[in-house]
Structure 1
Amino acid sequence: MTEHIRTGLVDGVLTVTLARPDKKNAITQAMYAALSDATEQARSDDAVRVLMFRSEGDSFSAGNDIADFIALGSQGQQPLDMSVFRFLKALAELDKPAVAAVRGRAVGIGLTLLLHCDMVVVAEDALLSAPFINLALAPEAASSMLLPAAIGHQRAFEMFALGEPIDGRTALAWGLANRAVPVDQVEATAAGLAAKLAARAPNSIRKTKGLMRDADALWALMQREGEAFGSQMSSPEAMEAFMAFSQKRAPDFSKAG
């Protein structure tokens, strides 16, 4: 397991920590593999009653590690063959409650991961964004369905199309979070909710969550999104977006069509 993902099981709560603070917890394929292991363990291990995601540093996650992503794309690897899709499948199939503690920025997968969590605690000043179109890509993690279902089509489309962040208070008001608290209370609040869930009847919770989610439909959509994502990854639009990102400038899509 990569050193950038840490796990610990205490009192039925499996805590998964994104531990790459110097890179704002941008996620590499090695990290996705470790996240997959942890999520699969949460589902199969009877000792685990709750899965909780948290982070080190001042950001929850900056999303995909772009350099890592570009390198894989240049090797011709398709998105569905990447470790990220093993993680997404594990999220779709997870039938135990998941909790997230979010401080700072939650970008891309940092946001769409939250759509698979049953209880989300955000800092009031956290910034959540889904800038897929800014990178000339497409939504992932079944977010093309889950985000509109949570906040409505117009709000979701704006988040996708413009890529502009919303703060934690807005996330709470829109239904993306259960609690918005001062940043120094995020960890304790999330841990408290996880402990409450771990004390509840486990089979009842699993059946309830199972009735609320269609894992097969989520995975089917994730694969469709993966095809769209993959076709965009190799597009001239994405090449311009990636180049602009590396050069720290705005992309120029004026000749795209």
Structure 2
Amino acid sequence: MGEIPPYVQAQLSEGVLELTLNRPERRNALSADMYTELACQLQFASQDQEVRVVLLTGAGEAFTAGSDIDGFETSAKDRDTAPARAFIEALIDCEKPIVAAVNGVAVGIGVTLLLHCDLVYSADCARFRLPFVNLGLVPEAGSSLLLPRLMGFHRATELLLMGDWFEAHQAERFGLVGEVFDTVALMSQVRARARHLAAQPSEAVWQTRRLLRTHRTELRECVEHELATFNRLLDSVDAREARLAFREKRPPRFR
């Protein structure tokens, strides 16, 4: 048998570290191991002088379907939230610009991680969803702070409370995506932009990012509060019912 390819593929070329979520059979749903590897890669990028830009995308027809729901089924005592926390912290702390190429479906943290990226581009086929409340949970990754600042309180509230799908051009109008490309052209366009950014003067890029990110202390406090609430609700009656209904392919019956 051949070697199983890694769930996170990393390739460094021309100063761009391209990270590809590579679990297409599960729509690139993020397992604990994937969170850990992504955090390690972002920490490596921050420290390695050869890396000037990080490019994040997905394999197949999805960007990522969010956290792997199977990881929610362990008891609160045994549940390890450290990998997801480490990934979020690595996003916040990354010293290099992060460029996202949303090549398909983006759900949950597949959307909220974009709030920490410097440049976000999308394929015209991409669809987005924030189904935290639908799953009996609350948003994470600082999105309760960053999303209203990005698109306004009422728009953010609607997306978070209703959990409806929205399309790539809507995401562009909301300010979540910088530009939408034809699906076939997405990666060539984004790689060209990532290489252009990698060729920019590194000190000026670093200082500009620092000036743009003056809210880190407030953001960390928000992330901590979100995660504490998220973990508490994971064991709630409604969250368990949402997961059971998802597996049984039926509408949930909430309290």
Q: Tell me the TM-score normalised to structure 2 length.
A: 0.94
Aligned to 2:112: 112
Structure 1 gaps, min length 5: none
Partner SS, residue 241 of structure 1 = helix
SS of the residue aligned with 2:64? coil
Instruction: Confirm or deny that 1:43 pairs with 2:46.
Output: yes
Match of 2:181 in 1: 181
CA distance in 2, matches of 1:192, 1:178: 15
How much does 1:134 deviate?
0.6
Distance in 1, Cα, partners of 2:110 & 2:242: 20
Asked if the contact 1:103–1:123 (Cα under 8 Å) also holds between the matched residues in 2, the reply is: yes
**CA offsets per residue over residues 24-65 of structure 1, 9 Å max, x none?**
000100100000001111111111110110111001001111
Q: List runs of 5+ in structure 2 lacking aligned partners.
A: none
CA distance in 1, matches of 2:145, 2:216: 13
TM-score by length of 1: 0.94
**What is the alpha-carbon distance in structure 2 between the residues aligned to residue 172 and residue 99 of structure 1?**
15
CA RMSD of aligned residues (A): 1.5
Could you tell me whether the CA contact under 8 Å between 1:78 and 1:230 is conserved in 2?
Answer: no
Partner of 1:99: 99
Q: 2:138 — aligned with what?
A: 138
CA deviation profile, 1:218-255 (whole Å, cap 9, x unmatched)? 222111110110111111111111111111111111x2
1, 9, 15: which one aligns with 1:6: 9
Aligned to 2:232: 231
Tell me if the contact between 2:72 and 2:234 (Cα under 8 Å) persists in the aligned partners. Answer: no
Amino acid at match of 2:184: D
Sequence identity, in percent? 37
1:68-119 Cα deviation digits (max 9, x unpaired):
2223xx252456x420100001111113211011122100011011111111
Q: Is the 8 A contact 1:142 1:219 kept in 2?
A: yes
Answer whether contact 1:121 1:189 (CA < 8 A) is retained.
Answer: no
Q: Which amino acid aligns with 1:10?
A: S
AA aligned to 1:141 is A
Cα deviation, 1:122-159, whole Å, max 9, x if unaligned, reads: 01221011100010011100011111111111111111
